[in-house]
Amino acid sequence: MAEIGRATPGTALASPAGQEACRVVARLRTAGFEALMAGGCVRDQLLGVEPADWDVATSAPVLEVQKLFPRTVAVGARFGVVRILGGDAETEVATFRSDGLYLDGRHPESVAPSDARGDAERRDFTINAMFMDPVSGEILDYVDGRRDLEARVIRAVGDPVLRFREDHLRLLRAARFAARLNAEIEPATFAAIRDAAPTIVEVAWERIGEEIVRMLLEGPPRRGLELLAATDLLRWVLPEVEAMRGVAQSLPWHPEGDVFIHTLLCVAQLDETCRDDEALALAVLLHDVGKPGTAEQDADGRIRFHGHEVQGESLSFAICRRLRRSTETAERVAWLVRHHLRHRDALAMARSTLRRLLAAPDIDALLKLARIDVLAGSGDLSTVEFCGLELEALGEVGRRLDPLLRGKDLLEMGYAPGPEIGRILARVLDEQLEGRLASVEEARAWVRASLSRRIGAEG
């Protein structure tokens, strides 16, 4: 990482979004108001990282900001926050403020005008509470955020108990920042997180889901998962993953340890394999979620998990929906979890059966998941590599059979979202591969006539 010091204007600021943020600052200053870069974009510039978002803090009231910039969106006008639209970039502008009481664990009941120091003192963590003059590069640091950033320490601003009582989502954000920055959580902040962990479920599940996904995709995900476990947050946001801890596995198939350790080793591989695929990342996290409920020991002492992929299918779908992920994402995750062991039978499969497996729309993600799973266990990639070679031999035309029906088609036909959607699509694809269905109309008629009735009968 870059040495922390005075930021150098013209690096990240040279990007289109950075230039737009500078234009916003300049216009506010020309109108007689104080304006500074604020929060995460300052932190990232000090680290030499291109900011994902650009925030400006100003002494200008919201109405004055809206007068100066014709294209604005009031994303939190009562809290002094507007978003300014400029070209392809957006800049969030917030009026310096101090916050009143937080009664809902998310938003203050009232806000009052303040200055830069007061605004810094109401923010979450010291590393996110710095300001920067984009012209001179001068850093305004009222809470020793630069010191903590240099030392890789996540520290709440002021009283950590109060900070987490104000906004419970900060509990997860602390773990995510610590993982992303390879930082330690300061002891008093850590203790406050553990004490407040049960309150995380008072946050909207959509926001919890966003933090979990960002932790997986921004990385390093193993460190994030370990911090969730250490702070006791895991058992509140992902109790099904917490249940993996201490669930033993047998040698030589799993020399790495219990199911939770195996999962840690799996998510550790996400950095290089699927940073842009939310469903695959979630499937890697949840592929063994069915093991705690299916564990049993044979007379010879071997621990087995019969049907854990089937139980995992329904569990993973439910978890994704609880985290408010899209129906499409939940269905993809459930399908990947259900089929993550299919590669084991590939060498013994009939050619037609293997062809159907390799024609699955998500086969690339499935083989990535299988590889990750094996590398975190026995290390025997023979069946995964066999499937990969067969897939390569099919070529793009052979492997990219366009399915006659997709999930949205079944939803339009009146089927409820859930794992059954995936099973129906798999049956339709089988019929298509066998040449018994050749058009969308035939597939729809076949589903109405036979498939839904058979699945219902099978339970």
Q: Give the CATH number of the domain where residue 249 resides.
A: 1.10.3210
* Residue of 13 and 367 predicted with greater confidence: 367
Question: Average pLDDT, stretch 296-300?
Answer: 88
Specify the 3-state DSSP secondary structure of 65: helix
**Given a cut of 50, is residue 40 above it in pLDDT?**
yes
Question: Quick one: 12 exposed, middle or buried, by C-beta within 10 A (0-12, 13-18, 19+)?
Answer: buried
188 found inside a domain: no
**Given a cut of 80, is residue 296 above it in pLDDT?**
yes
Q: Rounded CA gap, 30 and 18, in Å?
A: 18
**Given a cut of 90, is residue 402 above it in pLDDT?**
no
160 found inside a domain: no
The whole-number pLDDT of residue 128 equals 96
**Given a cut of 80, is residue 101 above it in pLDDT?**
no
Q: Rounded CA gap, 58 and 49, in Å?
A: 24
Q: Give the CATH number of the domain where residue 59 resides.
A: 3.30.460.10
Q: Compute the C-alpha angle 333/223/289, nearest 5°.
A: 30
The whole-number pLDDT of residue 10 equals 47
Question: Quick one: 400 exposed, middle or buried, by C-beta within 10 A (0-12, 13-18, 19+)?
Answer: exposed
Point out the domain boundary residue: 377, 400, 423: 400
- Residue 172's alpha-carbon distances to 8, 168, 176, 190, in angstroms, are 31, 8, 6, 11
Question: Average pLDDT, stretch 349-367?
Answer: 87
The whole-number pLDDT of residue 198 equals 97
The whole-number pLDDT of residue 344 equals 94
Point out the domain boundary residue: 135, 151, 167: 151
Question: Average pLDDT, stretch 119-126?
Answer: 94
Query: What range defines the domain where residue 427 resides?
Result: 402-459
430 and 383 in a single domain? The answer is: no
410 and 356 in a single domain? The answer is: no
16 and 134 in a single domain? The answer is: yes
- Considering Cα of 225, then 230, then 231, then 234, what sign does the dihedral take? positive
Encoded tokens for 127: 């590393």
The whole-number pLDDT of residue 416 equals 86
276 found inside a domain: yes
82 found inside a domain: yes
The whole-number pLDDT of residue 456 equals 45
- Residue 334's alpha-carbon distances to 135, 207, 324, 387, in angstroms, are 50, 21, 14, 21
Q: Which of 102-111, 161-170, 217-226, 304-313 has the lowest average pLDDT?
A: 102-111
pTM > 0.85: no
26 and 119 in a single domain? The answer is: yes
* Ramachandran angles phi, psi of 136, nearest 5°: -90, -20
The whole-number pLDDT of residue 204 equals 94
Q: What tens digit of pLDDT does each residue of 414-449 get? A: 888 888 888 888 888 778 776 788 899 999 999 888
348 and 414 in a single domain? The answer is: no
446 and 333 in a single domain? The answer is: no
Q: State what percent of residues in the chain have pLDDT above 90.
A: 63
Q: Which of 9-18, 291-300, 369-378, 380-389 has the lowest average pLDDT?
A: 9-18
375 and 408 in a single domain? The answer is: no
Residue spans of beta strands (DSSP E) within 277-354: 296-297, 303-304
144 and 246 in a single domain? The answer is: no
Encoded tokens for 400: 């990219």
Q: Compute the C-alpha angle 447/450/456, nearest 5°.
A: 95
358 and 449 in a single domain? The answer is: no
Which of left, alpha, beta for 439 (phi over 0: left; psi -120 to 50: alpha)? beta
206 found inside a domain: no
432 and 288 in a single domain? The answer is: no
407 and 316 in a single domain? The answer is: no
**Given a cut of 60, is residue 108 above it in pLDDT?**
yes
| Cα end-to-end span (Å), the chain | 55
Encoded tokens for 103: 């009664």
- DSSP letters for 91-151: EEEEE-EEE--BSSSSSBS-EEE--HHHHHHTSSBGGGS-EE-TTT--EE-SS-HHHHHHH
Amino acid identity at 72: T
The whole-number pLDDT of residue 239 equals 98
Q: Rounded CA gap, 141 and 320, in Å?
A: 40
**Of the candidates 275, 43, 7, which has an alpha carbon nearest to the alpha carbon of residue 154?**
43
331 found inside a domain: yes
292 near 309, Cβ under 8 Å?
no
The whole-number pLDDT of residue 87 equals 74
The whole-number pLDDT of residue 397 equals 57
Tokens 């809902």 -> residue:
104
Q: Compute the C-alpha angle 341/346/352, nearest 5°.
A: 120
Specify the 3-state DSSP secondary structure of 34: coil
The whole-number pLDDT of residue 401 equals 67
The number of distinct structural domains making up the chain is 3
260 found inside a domain: yes
Count of alpha carbons within 13 angstroms of residue 256, beta-carbon side: 16
The whole-number pLDDT of residue 2 equals 36
Q: What tens digit of pLDDT does each residue of 137-163 get? A: 999 999 999 999 999 999 999 999 999
Point out the domain boundary residue: 127, 151, 175: 151
Q: Which of 35-49, 176-190, 305-319, 438-452 has the lowest average pLDDT?
A: 438-452
Q: Which of 63-72, 101-110, 358-367 has the lowest average pLDDT?
A: 101-110
Residue spans of beta strands (DSSP E) within 2-66: 35-38, 55-58
Question: Average pLDDT, stretch 248-269?
Answer: 89
* Average pLDDT along the chain: 89
Q: Rounded CA gap, 112 and 127, in Å?
A: 23
At 396, the pLDDT band (50, 70, 90 cuts) reads low
Residue 29: its H or E element: helix 16-30
Q: State what percent of residues in the chain have pLDDT above 70.
A: 91
162 found inside a domain: no
Tokens 């409920």 -> residue:
293
43 and 86 in a single domain? The answer is: yes
The whole-number pLDDT of residue 414 equals 87
The whole-number pLDDT of residue 77 equals 67
Q: Rounded CA gap, 277 and 261, in Å?
A: 23
The whole-number pLDDT of residue 112 equals 83
- DSSP letters for 236-282: HH-HHHHTTTT----TTT-TT-SHHHHHHHHHTTHHHH-TT-HHHHH
